[in-house]
Structure 1
């Protein structure tokens, strides 16, 4: 079993953010979704970027609207995401919850959702490479304990 470290997970997210899809695939293959803490680092990065997108918080209605707009913008694959689960992820991110696992949403779908939504939010916020590196470093610090 491969140990999942925050830097390994964040390397996956970093590859995605830089549109390095070969690196993303290679780094993703090194992750073990059954490992302890799987998804925690990417969840931390997601929470950070959600709080940047909604710096004053968001009402359930605002979150629902954002999720609906996100799903409507997908050319394909919207059916792979449960809107209620995505809304819960946003609420958790706004509350600073970075736990692995995820109740009704298993670790692998949770990771997939965190990755896709983080990419969208980073692009929406216009975070450049330096800001992306800062985001990843902050997520690594948050999960280093």
Structure 2
């Protein structure tokens, strides 16, 4: 039986593996109306963010990271609101949620979590085995 958690983490796994055909095919199976939509990818993002910032991060550090991230995008930076991304990071790190910025709907939120998780995984130089561990840990976190 395939669950929303499994499907979401399969989508993220395909993205991390740069399997863009698999990513597109698996993404088509996601249901944005599911109340659990985005939860597993959000959990994986939070785990990766906490690995990147193991001591947590001050709001200034988060905003600097987000500005660097947006500046590194060759295209698509205009698709993301910096304040909304800062809020996602604060949430992922378990910090107080920053105020302001665009309120992301479920589809925009999962898109942001996917692309930020990909960046964090690349920064952390997580190999395939470590990526699988991250996905397994995210599945456990969302199963509770």
Corresponding position of 1:50: 49
CA–CA distance in structure 1, aligned partners of residues 117 and 103 of structure 2: 20
CA–CA distance in structure 1, aligned partners of residues 138 and 3 of structure 2: 14
Corresponding position of 1:100: none
Task: Tell me if the contact between 1:47 and 1:96 (Cα under 8 Å) persists in the aligned partners.
Answer: no
| 1:111 partnered with 2:105 | no
Provide the alpha-carbon RMSD of the alignment: 1.6
CA–CA distance in structure 2, aligned partners of residues 128 and 138 of structure 1: 15
Corresponding position of 2:15: 16
Residue aligned with 2:93, SS: helix
TM normalised by structure 2 equals 0.92
Question: Number of aligned pairs?
Answer: 138
Task: Tell me if the contact between 1:63 and 1:87 (Cα under 8 Å) persists in the aligned partners.
Answer: yes
Identify unmatched segments of 5+ residues in structure 2.
Answer: 97-101
Q: Please give the per-residue CA displacement for 1:90-113, whole angstroms capped at 9, x wherever unaligned.
A: 00000089xxxxx92100000000
CA–CA distance in structure 1, aligned partners of residues 121 and 8 of structure 2: 17
Corresponding position of 2:26: 27
Corresponding position of 1:72: 71
Task: Tell me if the contact between 1:38 and 1:107 (Cα under 8 Å) persists in the aligned partners.
Answer: yes
Task: Tell me if the contact between 2:4 and 2:30 (Cα under 8 Å) persists in the aligned partners.
Answer: no
Task: Tell me if the contact between 1:4 and 1:37 (Cα under 8 Å) persists in the aligned partners.
Answer: no
Identify unmatched segments of 5+ residues in structure 1.
Answer: 98-102
Residue aligned with 1:95, SS: coil
CA–CA distance in structure 2, aligned partners of residues 5 and 128 of structure 1: 25
Matches within 5 A, 1:87-102: 87-95=86-94
TM normalised by structure 1 equals 0.92
Instruction: Flag as ranges the 4+ runs of structure 1 deviating above 2 A.
Output: none
